[in-house]
């Protein structure tokens, strides 16, 4: 076996490091080039921050990859509290759901014409104990989320509720006991019946939101089971699928993210051909991005949050945390920038 001198060793190491430093991922697909007009013109990220948890902040993007703070990194609406989630209704108005804390009994809903001025729309207090097959539900409401379903012409609001307290010996059982509940509404003022469980399988889930893509419904979630050798998908982002808004949903697909990721967000690319799935490495460590041309996958992870500009394929302002991303028009983007400034 050939032996190398120390000088030769360092020379070879320098060559390898040099090749590594020049290695590059290709740019993420889905961007438009030249004079081509994007189908999705701009994006809003409504979020909280690490230092101001549960309050409302905005960041914006023109490419769905590079995000900039608005309002000099200050709150954009003082009255809101919660894990921000925004959806557009059939009336063209925007609705945001939140609550003052997981132990609050009421979900608060606000409405806006322009994403700038919000006014109170309604409050909803679910009778959690009346949920069929879930009479042992605790009084906890986590991260309510909204989606308007064109087919049924109804909103669906989802949230997670546990049925077991944590103990000193097993604090994790609280999270493993989270189940996703939902309620339907035509106007987010009156709500249909009592809450119901969304999934008929028994697995801890949080941060669930629904999107219809093509002729299928996709429920994006965090698998809240703790990861082990025998449950390797624990604390990852996964997707379940159904032909109907209310299911039954398939068992979730394989993990899209690494372990210990949550608060997923899904947006279409500017050319509307690719899907970008963001998720937080908690608590407030970084954001990851997985990319696919189909929600069924396969998904690959883009490089970002390394703080090397020539390596990062996406970027965020510092200390952003849970929220939602939506597509907006260039006119709405310009209005937000004019009002709040970058």
Contact 225, 238 (CB under 8 A): no
Residues 6+ apart with CB under 8 A from 213: 295
CATH of 84-317 given 2.115.10.20, 2.40.160.50, 3.20.20.10, 2.30.30.220: 2.115.10.20
Average pLDDT over residues 335-341: 96
What is the reported pLDDT for 43? 98
Backbone angles phi, psi at 176, to 5 degrees: -65, -20
pLDDT, mean of residues 302-307: 87
- 245-262 mean pLDDT: 97
Mean pLDDT (whole number) for 247-274? 97
Q: Is the pLDDT of residue 342 over 80?
A: no
| 3-class DSSP assignment, residue 176 | helix
pLDDT of 203 > 60? The answer is yes
In angstroms, rounded to a whole number, what is the distance separating the alpha carbons of residues 312 and 262?
21
* Residue 297: predicted pLDDT: 95
Q: Taking a C-beta distance cutoff of 8 angstroms, is the pair 323, 45 a contact?
A: yes
CA distance 30 to 273: 6
Q: Evaluate whether 277 touches 222 at the Cβ level (below 8 Å).
A: no
Q: Per-residue confidence at 23, pLDDT binned at 50, 70, 90?
A: low
pLDDT, average across residues 221-226: 97
pLDDT confidence of 310, banded at 50, 70, 90?
confident
**Above pLDDT 70, what percent of the chain?**
93
Average pLDDT, integer, range 106-120:
98
| 26: its two tokens | 């290709």
Average pLDDT, the chain: 93
Please say if the pLDDT value at position 141 is more than 50: yes
Per-residue pLDDT, averaged over 68-95, amounts to 97
Mean pLDDT confidence for 173-197: 97
- Indicate if the pLDDT at residue 24 is higher than 50: yes
pLDDT value at residue 309: 79
131, 133, 149, 221: which is closest to 185 by C-alpha?
A: 149
pLDDT category at 306 given cuts 50, 70, 90 is confident
Give me the pLDDT at residue 22, please: 56
DSSP annotation string for 68-122: EESGGG--SBTT--SS-EEEE-TTS-EEEEE-S-TT-S-EEEEEESSSSS-EEEE
pLDDT value for 14: 43
Nearest CA to 332 out of 323, 320, 340 is that of 340
């Amino acid at each position: 076996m050939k032996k190398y001198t120390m000088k030769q060793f360092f020379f070879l190491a320098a060559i390898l490091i040099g090749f590594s430093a020049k290695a590059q991922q290709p740019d993420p697909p889905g961007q438009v080039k030249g004079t081509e007009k994007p189908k999705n013109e701009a994006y809003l990220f409504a979020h909280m921050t690490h230092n101001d948890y549960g309050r409302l902040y905005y960041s914006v993007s023109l490419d769905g990859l590079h995000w900039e703070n608005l309002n000099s990194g200050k709150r954009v609406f003082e009255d809101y509290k919660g894990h921000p989630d925004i959806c557009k209704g059939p009336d063209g108005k925007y609705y945001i759901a939140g609550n003052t804390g997981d132990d609050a009994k009421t979900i608060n809903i606000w409405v806006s014409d322009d994403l700038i001025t919000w006014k109170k729309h309604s409050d909803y207090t679910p009778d959690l104990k009346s949920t069929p097959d879930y009479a042992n539900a605790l009084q906890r409401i986590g991260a309510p989320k909204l989606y308007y379903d064109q087919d049924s012409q109804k909103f669906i609001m989802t949230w997670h509720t546990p049925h077991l307290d944590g103990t000193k010996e097993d604090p994790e059982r609280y999270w493993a006991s989270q189940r996703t509940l939902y309620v339907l509404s035509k106007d987010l003022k009156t709500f249909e019946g009592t809450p119901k469980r969304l999934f008929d399988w028994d697995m801890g889930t949080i941060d669930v939101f629904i999107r219809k893509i093509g002729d299928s419904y996709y429920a994006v979630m965090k698998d809240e089971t703790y990861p082990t050798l025998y449950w390797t998908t624990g604390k990852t982002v996964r997707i379940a699928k159904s032909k109907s808004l209310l299911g039954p949903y398939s068992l979730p697909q394989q993990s899209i993210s690494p372990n210990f990721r949550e608060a997923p967000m899904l947006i279409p690319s500017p050319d509307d051909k690719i899907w970008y799935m963001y998720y937080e490495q908690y608590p407030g460590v970084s954001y990851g991005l997985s990319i696919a041309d189909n929600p069924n996958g396969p998904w690959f992870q883009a490089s970002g949050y390394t703080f090397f500009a020539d390596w990062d394929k996406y970027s965020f302002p510092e200390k952003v945390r849970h929220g939602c991303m939506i597509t907006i028009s260039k006119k709405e983007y310009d209005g937000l920038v004019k009002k709040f400034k970058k």
